[in-house]
Amino acid sequence: MTDAAVELDSRPTKIMYVAEATAHGGREGYVTSQDGQLELKVAMPPALGGDGDGTNPEQLFAAGFSSCFHNALVLVGRREGLDLTGSTVAAKVGIGPNKQRGYGLAVALSVSLPILDQEVASKLVDAAHQVCPYSNATRGNIEVTILLG
């Protein structure tokens, strides 16, 4: 499945939670969250010329997108009375130059719903893609491919 641009207003009508994080030193520094739950060293990955001795924004984005999308699956699945035992979502976030002389991202989500048949799983993934805040935030400006396996 590939994400297509959809004309929907996905902005929140009410803010229920605000996460706060601060970067110190860009891609060669560290990040912290306001509540102290996150304190990570950040480093350029070897593929981009760094030593890889720390996490990077793409890994953090992949972690956020995969956990958020999985939660959307669970939410939609629960509404439908489905058993999602053993389900997982893995995210790959790619970065590279774009045509505007900057950089862009591409995302591939691999969804595993081992005890659901393919048709039910596909409908669930489509519904979760409409619910997930990361899906809504990236729709139309980042290529998001969803692989169901």
Q: The domain spanning residue 12 has which CATH number?
A: 2.20.25.10
CA separation for the pair 149, 142 (Å, rounded):
22
Q: Which two tokens stand for residue 4?
A: 């297509």
Domain of 131, CATH number, reads 3.30.300.20
CA separation for the pair 81, 109 (Å, rounded):
23
Q: Do residues 29 and 60 both lie within one domain?
A: no
Q: What is the residue-level pLDDT of the chain in tens, covering all 149 positions?
A: 444 444 567 788 999 999 999 999 999 999 999 999 999 999 999 999 999 999 999 999 999 999 999 999 999 999 999 999 999 999 999 999 999 999 999 999 999 999 999 999 999 999 999 999 999 999 999 999 999 98
Regarding pTM above 0.95, the answer is no
Type of residue found at 114: P
pLDDT for 6 equals 46
How many separate domains does the chain show? 2
CA 43 to chain centre: 20
Please say which residue of 10, 25, 55 terminates a domain. Answer: 55
Q: Do residues 16 and 34 both lie within one domain?
A: yes
Residue 132's domain comprises 56-148
pLDDT for 5 equals 44
- Whose tokens are 């139309």? That residue is 140
pLDDT for 3 equals 47
